[in-house]
A and B are shown apart, each in its own frame.
Chain A
Amino acid sequence: MAVTTMVGAKIHRREDPKLITGHGSYVDDMQLTGMVHMAVVRSAQAHAKIVSVDLTAASKAPGVVAVYTARDFKKVISGGLPVTESLIADKKQTPNQFPIAESEAVYFGEPIAVVLAESRYQAADCAELVQVEYESLPVLVDFEKALEKGSPTAHTGAPDNVAWDVNFNGGDLEAAFKESEVTVKERIIQQRVFPISMEPRAVLANYVPFGNQLTVWTSSQVPHFIRLFLCIGLGMPESQIRVVAPDVGGGFGSKLRPYPEEYLAAAASKLSGRPVKWIEGRTENLQATSHGRGHIFDIEVGAKRDGTLLALKITMLSDLGAYIGVFGALQSSLAMLLSPGCYKWKAVHGRAIGVLTNKMSTDPYRGAGRPEAAHLVERAVDLVAQELKLDPADVRAKNFAEDFPFTSILGMVYDSGEYQKSLDKAKEIVGYKALRQKQADLRKQGKYLGIGLSTYVEICGVGPSAATAHVSGSLALVESSVVRVHPTGSVTVAVGTHSHGQGHATTFAQIAADALGLPYANIEIREGDTGDTPFGYGSYGSRSLPVGGVSINRSCQKVVDKAKKIAAHMLEAADEDVVFDQGQFYVKGSPDKRKAMGEVAFAAYGPGLPEGMEQGLEAVTYFDPPNFTWPFGAHICVVEVDPETGEVDIQKYVAVDDCGNIINPMIVDGQIHGGVAQGIGQALFEEAVHDPETGALRTGTLLDYSIPGIGEIPNLQLDRTITPSPTNELGVKGVGEAGTIAASAAVINAIVDALSPFGIKHVDMPASPDRLWKQIKQAREHSNGGKEARK
């Protein structure tokens, strides 16, 4: 029967018709009667004392409704923005962030004043008239320097710039290095990047004093989180606040925290008595929406001559910005905990130091710590292979974890994996052996082909409360669902996650249709509105399916259990004799006499139910997963580098991913495509650059900051293996970030492989033509210099 084949089927997305016809509903598409527009006056200095804020001219501007500063907001906002208590026990300092600066601005773009005006243009005009007098303070841009003794501090009066300094140790490192026959060292930079969702952030807040009700529409991945924190910040009960994340134009991690502007727009509505709309411009987005990555890794690797990996020592410095991102500590921890990758090591020791600087916070960006981990360990393996003149595929094969569940040297339990299988498949698709031959032939002609491998493993399904509650301020990062079957057999499924491109309305309906045995068309998915969905933790960390999707499945099972009792009653049979099969209930052995789920649903609301049973057919689940899930895969990138220009041409990109069982292959492939593109973006093009003296953002527009365009991403060849997760009954793992986690290492390994004849061992990101050209030039001079010296 058709209804039981939804899971695994390529179903076209039901969210698309409105989006392809221009009928989506993003925040800026909404208008409320009496609405005013908010513009934010931002610090033009990265670190300065705010001497005065002169509002005289602004208050007289045409169309102005109000001008507010921190002093006004203090009347309605209490406390600061939240910060996760982090995985890090010995945190040194956590600067408190009020949504708007009062006496000291600590990053370029920090809010200083807010104006409200009748139109967007008037608000922008009015903001320009606010006069801020600054007294410059020392600016910290270089986060390595910020650690030096006697360095000025990012916040006046702070003891130093260390937010945390913590060790992640597994195994006996000294012994492992002693056993090593070869060691390599490298410094690997993870540059700061911008997440850049195509829709910048946007907020519309409407406070209604009669009844003390606040509604906030916000472009967010986590509406329930936002409500929780707004209620704390504004001193209002949650029951009086409704947060709606409607259509959201991408997030990539940058919309999973409460932001100053959400507090400010809500408070401004309260202060002014008008609905307030704030739409972020792209330049603002680059200044004041969280940045990603921003670390320096110093690594030392020890191995045997045969390629057996033994020891890995890591020091990780993280450029946190002026305030610790809400999940800033989490991504540092993930980078450390995942640094062993999919390999067996004797010892891995990591030291993570979080450093405060005068910049915007870094917070999760697609992958959040796992791209960093994958990049460093995949580079480490290639460094060993290069040093020993071994094939990097063979070094990987020698060291893969094989028995599952596998406990990594840092104590993480990987649920399932078949690392060699995905690598073999990727090698076969790309034609690995032939390519190596081609590479050798081309080198003779002065052409530099490079083949880069990335055999990543990652962690999804955040998360088991036992592992996450102590790091999330006692929140269990479970996920919720309510499944309600209506009398005529249509179904409303309300979930605590949020979809901003992932297609939940489609895939979640596929799961529910199968579990309930009802037609897919009967299932309606509700999410994003705290007014009609259960408390949930939102969408990030590739958790929607392995946590939210499983929650839906369980609610459906509970519904089926109740329906079965009703059916047994209708069939005059004992509960345990009734079978539920593809949407039909019948007594074992007599499938002819049957009751369809739809009939049972109608009966559930009628009279004559089994003794003591209440009417209705619905269920709630808060799913707390027993473990994380561990997707993995093998990506192979083939590049040619032009040594005369430093230009990189990606000739082939093969991705073999394993995210467990698949609900909708079309959507899974789409997630990989986009993820890989972002990884390629970081590897080749993207870098957020601040002026080293002033801390001003030099890459403040999409003209200065280059995300990949349609000409820069090759056709990606995808394939997959399927290793179900034993962690949940759907066998799913999550796929939202896999592409990004894998890609940067594949690209950089390919470039280094191409340039290895020049003696180049490492290339940092972005591997732009000028960087590569300089490196090739230096390498050539070095080798020429050597020759000359020998003469």
Chain B
Amino acid sequence: MKHKVATTVNGHKHEHEVEPRLLLVHYLRDVVGLTGTHIGCDTSQCGSCTILVDGKAVKSCTMFAVQAEGRQLTTIEGMAKDGELHPLQQAFWDEHGLQCGYCTPGFIMAAAYLLDQNPNPTEDEIRKGLEGNLCRCTGYVNIVKSVQSAAKAMDGAKAKTSERSAAVGRS
């Protein structure tokens, strides 16, 4: 009674036969072999398993693997590109936004979606945007700082890109 499921994870295509009840988070960890996405509760409270499904933050314990058929999935392993950390990863490192690191992938993925929707969030908006994720180590103080610092860096990077394209346009 297995079902075929085809997904794209971090740009790579995967095809597997899975049980219909297999949770997406277990599919990623045990079938695809990407263990950066963590499990911290049984009830979808903690957000440790947050990934992007077609660009949108989703707690991957709330979806079955079969529901991910044909979807583009991004996990923490897909955030760094060409050996360069994603600005959020860099910011969590710089601002000491993690201690034990267990909730961190979920926070980074949730924050990635937040900044995609709202590139310059206020502190309140950051706190609202990440209320689905729990951390027991940091008291959230440096997580907020990390997201603020990443927003600044990403905004700066964007500004540079548009300057560059403007320069290219002129030449």
Contact = CB atoms under 8 A, between A and B. Distances in A.
A707 interface: yes
Most buried by B among A23, A677, A710: A710
Given A22-B36, A199-B38, A500 B100 contact: yes
A666 interface: yes
B42 A713 contact: no
Interface string B107-142: 010000000000000010011101101111111111
B139 A676 contact: yes
A20 B43 contact: no
A199 B40 contact: yes
A501 B100 contact: yes
B93 A252 contact: no
B134 to A, nearest CB: 6
Contacts of A739: 139
B146 to A, nearest CB: 10
Contacts of A23: 36, 77
B140 A670 contact: no
A381 B6 CA distance: 65
Interface string A635-674: 0000000000000000000000000000000110110011
Nearest to A718: B141
Contacts of B55: none
A501 to B, nearest CB: 3
A186 interface: no
A709 interface: yes
Given A670-B96, A674-B99, A501 B42 contact: no
A677 B137 CA distance: 8
A463 to B, nearest CB: 24
B160 interface: no
A573 B145 CA distance: 55
Contacts of B101: 15-16, 19-20, 24, 247, 249, 501
A54 to B, nearest CB: 26
Contacts of A283: 42
A702 B41 contact: yes
A49 interface: no
A711 B139 contact: no
**Interface residue SS majority, chain A:** loop
A678 B77 CA distance: 30
A707 B136 contact: yes
Nearest to A716: B141
Contacts of A12: 93-94, 96
A168 interface: no
Contacts of B108: 20
A701 interface: yes
A716 B35 contact: no
Contacts of B138: 670, 673-674, 677
Given A23-B36, A200-B40, A666-B96, A702 B45 contact: yes
A502 B99 contact: yes
B96 A702 contact: no
Interface residues of A, number: 55
B78 to A, nearest CB: 9
Contacts of A709: 131, 133-134, 140
B5 interface: no
A21 B127 contact: no
Nearest to A279: B39
Given A16-B92, A199-B40, A503-B99, A674 B139 contact: yes
Interface in A212-263: 247-250, 252
Nearest to A664: B96
Most buried by B among A252, A502, A670, A711: A670
A199 B140 contact: no
Contact of A198 (B37, B77, B134): B134
A13 B104 contact: no
Most buried by B among A500, A674, A676: A674
A502 B101 CA distance: 11
A713 B130 CA distance: 13
Contact of B42 (A22, A198, A252, A281): A281
B63 interface: no
Contacts of B37: 22
A29 interface: yes
A711 B98 contact: no
A12 B142 CA distance: 13
Interface string A174-199: 00000000000000000000001111
B136 A250 contact: yes
B102 interface: yes
Contact of B19 (A13, A121, A503, A708): A121
A709 B77 CA distance: 25
A526 interface: no
Given A21-B36, A250-B102, A673-B142, A282 B41 contact: yes
Most buried by A among B35, B42, B96, B141: B141
B75 A677 contact: no
A527 B77 CA distance: 26
Interface in A196-210: 196-200
A710 B89 contact: no
Contacts of B128: 711
A772 B36 CA distance: 42
Contacts of A716: 139, 141
Interface string A267-290: 000000000000001110000000
B59 interface: no
Given A678-B136, A710-B144, A199 B102 contact: yes
B143 A710 contact: yes
A79 B21 CA distance: 41
A710 B133 contact: yes
Given A28-B35, A703-B45, A196 B21 contact: no
A193 to B, nearest CB: 12
B153 interface: no
A711 B127 contact: yes
Across the A-B interface, the 3 shortest Cβ-Cβ residue pairs: A22-B36, A249-B102, A19-B101
Interface of B: 19, 21-22, 26, 29-30, 34-43, 45-46, 48, 75-77, 79-80, 85, 89, 92-94, 96, 98-105, 108, 123, 126-128, 130-131, 133-144
24 contacts: A12-B93, A13-B93, A16-B92, A16-B98, A19-B98, A20-B76, A21-B79, A22-B34, A24-B36, A26-B38, A28-B39, A196-B136, A198-B40, A503-B99, A670-B138, A674-B99, A677-B136, A678-B136, A701-B42, A701-B43, A703-B45, A707-B134, A709-B134, A713-B140
Given A12-B93, A198-B134, A701-B43, 8 more contacts: A21-B89, A199-B102, A675-B139, A677-B138, A709-B140, A710-B126, A715-B123, A715-B144
